Amino acid sequence: MQHLQDSFGRKFPYIRMSITDVCNFKCGYCLPNGYQVDKGDNRKFLHLDEIKRLAKCFSKLGVCKIRITGGEPTVRKDFFDIIKVLKFESGIKKVVITTNGYHLDQKAKQLVDSGLTGINISIDSLDRETFKNITSHDRLPEILKGIKNLQDLNFENIKINGVLLNGVNSSEKDFDKWSEFIKKNKIDYRYIELMRTGDNLDYFNKYHVSSKVFKDYLNKNKWIYQTLGKDAGPSLNYINPEYKGKFGIIAPYSKDFCKTCNRLRITSRGDLRLCLFGNTGISVRHLLQKDDQLEELKDLILGQMKFKKESHYLELGDTGSTKNLSKTGG
């Protein structure tokens, strides 16, 4: 079997696949004004058959995990069909999603029944008012109810992500709340360092804080660093024998963050992106129209690997072509 490998020896068993740019939340760090139609790109989002062919191709290239992202992936009417196709008809072993948790309380059983392997839910704060201020939605109780419903159905691979925002959710009091939450819940909580994108410079300058503030908290409270498998994401994970859950840190501005990169990205309109903050992407959509295009598609993807750079250049202020995080799945 051929495998995806770049010129720096990194292998890529993990794909982040966006299936829509549309999101129904208005998070300050991503889409503060809500979803806006891109008038410069009138291509439709990938349809089910295209997604199936693309996933089959990636499985032939050694990919074992696909994360469905957006936008908010659950807004698609065929969302559950996409999960089932990826899980049962493409050869992909792990199918996970990232979601804002909208109507999670109503969708929990359907998610479990779909064959989903794991779920990441975005919750920036356990304080209801703070959550509302960040997302423009007062839906924290229903999201937490959805998580409880998943647990009651014995769904175990639950992770929660929050963007670390200076003066908003970055205090020791905030950390203590999450610590108390994961002490009794087998859930991983990861703080993501706020990333600058093409259209959030003012927000970034106001709210960015180094993830070191949380790392110092973990060290002070005797959390232990844990290594993970080859298809894991970029999180640095910490365990404590007294807690059911784990903590994690995603720190894109840290030294050597890209050294262990193991993922490529597909945009909702069928562009292959080698990096979230890259300047280029190449469309593969013309090779997703027929089943007999598989070998040609494989060759195109393999040929792109030599163009993957050693690092993003976020620390230099270079955000590439990423205007906001809904465009390439964050």
CATH superfamily, with its number, for domain 14-316: Aldolase class I (3.20.20.70)
- Residue with structure tokens 């300050």? 28
Average pLDDT for runs of 10 along the chain of length 330 = 93 96 94 84 92 98 97 96 96 97 97 97 98 97 98 97 98 98 97 87 93 96 84 84 96 81 94 82 95 97 92 60 58
pLDDT value for 323: 61
Residue boundaries of the structural domains of the chain: 14-316
- Residue 239: what are its φ and ψ, rounded to 5°? -125, 160
Residue 73, H or E segment: none
Contact, 304 vs 5, CB < 8 A? no
pLDDT value for 330: 55
pLDDT value for 253: 78
74 DSSP assignment? G
Signed CA dihedral, 66, 70, 74, 77: sign only: negative
Q: How far apart are CA 309 and CA 328, in angstroms?
A: 17
pLDDT value for 327: 60
Contact, 82 vs 322, CB < 8 A? no
**In terms of Cα–Cα distance, which of 117, 118, 19 is closest to 68?**
19
131 CB contacts (<8 Å, ≥6 apart)?
A: 123, 124, 125, 137, 138, 139, 140
| Tokens found for residue 226 | 């844990």
